[in-house]
Amino acid sequence: MAGTIEFYDTTLRDGTQAENFNLSVDDKIRITKQLDKIGIDFIEGGWPGSSPLAVEYFEKMKDIELRHARLTAFGSTRHFQNPPDRDPNLQALLAAETPAITIFGKSWDIHVHDALRIELEDNLQIIEDSLTYLRPRVKHLIYDAEHFFDGFKKNREYCLATLGRALIGGAETLVLCDTNGGTLPHEIPPIIERVKQFLEEQGSTARIGIHPHNDSETAVANALIGVSMGAGQVQGTINGYGERCGNGNLTSIIPAVIFKMGLEAEVGKKIDKLYSTSRLINELANLPHNRYQPYVGESAFAHKGGIHVSAVQRNPLTYEHIEPEKVGNVRRILISDQAGKSNVLHKAKKYGLNLDADDPAMVSIIKELKDLENQGYQYEGAEASFELLMRRAMGMDLNFFTFEGFRVMNHKYRMDKPPLTEATIRLYVDSREVHTASMGDGPVNALDRAMRKALTRFYPSLEEMELIDYKVRVLSGEHGTQAKVRVLVESRDNTSQWGTVGVSINIIEASWQALTDAINYKLMKDKQADA
C-alpha cells in the first residue's frame, strides 16, 4: 500500500463532460483556487486549444499563483501524421505553460485499429515520441493509459507494451484508466499486481495511478482497491461528475483514504473543507445538491426519530461511521432544534462575531435559517447573505437604505429588435427620498443600474462594485412557470468578491433580494474598514 497519496482532480475537464454540467471561465478559476486551498495535488484545467474558453482559462491562470496544487494541461498523443514539434495538440499543451502535463494514449488494441486506424507498432511509437518530446519541456509528466483495464483483459502483452513506451518517454506516473467504467472490484488486484511486476522488470520507480469511471457503480471501490494495491495517485472529480455515469467521486474517496485506510495526503490537512467544497461546485455548476451523498450530503449524518436519535445523542458512534465535523458536515437531529448550532458557531467565528451556543440570538438565527431553507434558500455559494442574516439577528444596524418600491418594464416594440427594458426605483437614505430610473440590458441589469444610480450619491464606493455572475435555478418544476426560483449573484470590488441569494416565485423579486444583499454587504464592509 502506498504511503503518501496524490489526489488529482479532473472536475474542470472530465467533470464538465457530464450532462448539464457547465462552468464559466471565472467559475473554473474559483474552483481551481478552492481545490488548491484544500490541498489537491494536481488540478487538471482542461484540454488547451479545444475551445476558446479553454484557451482563456489557461491564459488567466498564468497570472494566478497556486500555493500547493500543480495546474495540469491535458491532451492526447501526437497525430500519426505529425512529428511532435509540429503537432498542434502538443504545441497547445506547451503553450498553456503549466507545471504538469497529462497525456493519454491508447492501451486497447481495438482502439488502435478502429479509432486511430493505425498499426499496433505505430501506436507504440506515437506514445514514446510524444512523451519524449514533452519530457524536457515540463516539470511533471503524467501518462493516462486510456481503456487500460479493458485492453489488459483482451491483450495484456500489448497493453503492458504501451506502458513500457510511456516509461521510455519519461512518464513519472502511469495512470491506469477504466475509461468505460465496466471493471468490477475483484478484477483490479491481479491486474495491478501484474503492472507492479512489469515495473520491477523494467527497473522503473514510476508511480501507479488509477482513474476509474462509475458506469458499474464501482468507481469509488475500484479507486480504494487500487490504493490498497499500491496506486499512489487517484484521479477523480468532486461529487463524481463526469461523462455518462460519472467519475470516481473524490468526496467519498478522500475521506476513505484518510480516515479508513490511515494514509497521508496533503488534502488530509484541510479535509474539513470537503463539505463546503462539494457544495460550492454544485452551486457554481447550478446543479442541485445530492442530499444522500456519503460524507458531504445533507442527509449523510441526519437522524430522524426513535431509537436512532436516542442512541446518537448518547453516543454518536452508534449510528455514525465517522464524526461529521471531520469533513466539515454537521450532525442533524431532525426533530431537535439543536441541528445546525455547530455550523452557525463556526460561521460566527469566521465572520468575527461574538456568539456562543447559549446566546438568545442563536435561537433566532437557527429559526430564521430553517424557515428560509424551507423556502428554498441555500447559502453555500452566498455566504455574504448568510453573514447579513446573522448580523441582523444579533441586532446589528445594517439599515443603509430603505426600499419603498420598484417597477421593471419590458417594451417589445419590434419583433426583430431586443426589447427595451427600464427599471424605476424609490428608496430612502435616512429621511431623504430618492426616485430614479435606468435603462438596462434586461430587467436584472436595469434594476441593478437603477439601484446604483439611486445610492451612489450617498455611497460613492459603490462605483467600484460590479456584478460578475448571475445564476437562476428552478427549485420545483411541477408548477411550470409558477415554480419558485433561486437567484445567486456574485459581486466584487477592488479587494474581494462575495455571493448573495434571493428566492421567490418572481424572478425579478428574487434578483432584487440578491442585489440588495450584495449592496448591503459592500456597504457593511466599507463601514467596518472605516471604523
- List, for residues 268-306, the tens digit of each pLDDT value: 999 999 999 999 999 899 888 898 999 999 889 887 665
Q: Say what the pLDDT of residue 479 is.
A: 55
Name the residue ranges covered by the structural domains of the chain. 6-284, 301-338
Per-residue cell: 14? 472530465
CATH fold match for the domains 6-284 and 301-338: no
Per-residue cell: 387? 453573514
CATH superfamily of the domain spanning 6-284:
Aldolase class I (3.20.20.70)
Q: Say what the pLDDT of residue 339 is.
A: 47
Q: Say what the pLDDT of residue 330 is.
A: 83
Q: Which residues face 405 on adjacent strands?
A: 426
286 vs 281, 344, 503, 505, CA distance in Å?
Answer: 8, 24, 14, 18
Q: Say what the pLDDT of residue 50 is.
A: 85
| Per-chain mean pLDDT for the chain | 92
Q: Say what the pLDDT of residue 338 is.
A: 47
- Model pTM? 0.74
List the CATH code of the domain at 301-338. Answer: 4.10.430.20
Query: In the chain, which residues have pLDDT < 50?
Result: 335-339
101 CB burial (10 A radius; 0-12, 13-18, 19+): buried
Tell me which H or E stretch contains 411.
strand 402-411
Q: Distance between CA atoms of 502 and 505, rounded to whole angstroms?
A: 10
